[in-house]
Structure formats: structure tokens, C-alpha cells
Amino acid sequence: MSADEFDPMIERLFARTPHLADAPLFAAGVETKLQSSTRMRTLALTLAGVVGGIIAVRESMNLDLQLTDPQAPVAGRVIGQSLQSASLDVQGAVASGLSQMGLADVTLGSMGGMQLFWITAGALIALAAAGVVKLSQEV
């Protein structure tokens, strides 16, 4: 049998899928396994997220940054002072940007660095989730 005769025969054989007697039962079993593993995965991820969120909130409430300690070594004090001046520079830049947009009454001084971190992290997570939703709708 030549290749020219063999290829059409194989194509013809695989064009029709055979009907299996237990196909609906097999499909139902696979669907049941998928649903049970999805429930367990969802439960585990939800539990991990709740535990992580509780720990993050607890740690952000108990955080007290002492960047300048009078008894710290000179290098530590210099680093602490430079971090404070950098954060003040960023705060000043944000305040000037807000005043240009007409939001001069919004002050960032009442929030600590950790609160700003968590707000920014939440915004980035929301943007990532929106991107995933958009990509999933396109595919």
C-alpha cells in the first residue's frame, strides 16, 4: 500500500469517532471529579486569602516605624533621615500634583507608610484583576 492510498484511508477512519456505550457515564464521572476539585481548590484559596488578609491587617495596625533612633549608628541614622526626606519629597510631589488637579485638600500626612502601601497594593491587584477579566473575555 502506497502513501497516497494509506493517508486517505487513515483520514476516513479517524473522521468518524466510534460511539462508546459508556460515554455519558464517563463524561458525568469526569465532570463530578472536576467539580469536586474546583470546590476544594476554591475553599483552600479562600481560606488562605482570609488568613493572609487578617495577618496583613493585624501587622499593618501594629507597625511603628522608628527610622531615626538617637542611639543608632551614624550610618543607620543617615539612612533613616534620607528615607524620611525621600518620603517627604514624594509626599510633596504628590501634593503638588493633587493641587494641580484641584484636589489640594487631600492630605497624605494622616496616613502612615504602611497604609499607603496597602492602598497601592489593593489598587494594583484591582488593576490586575480587571486586566485578567478583559483578557479572558477576549479569548
Confidence at 35, pLDDT banded by 50, 70, 90: confident
Q: What's this model's pTM, rounded to 2 decimal places?
A: 0.29
CA 6, 12, 16, 18 torsion: positive or negative? negative
The per-residue pLDDT for range 62-113, each reduced to its tens digit, is 655 555 555 656 555 566 667 777 777 777 777 777 677 766 665 556 666 7
What are the sequence ranges of the domains in the chain? Answer: 24-62, 66-108, 110-139
Chain centroid, CA 42 distance in Å: 15
d(CA 105, CA 100) in angstroms, rounded, equals 11
Whole-number pLDDT of residue 74: 59
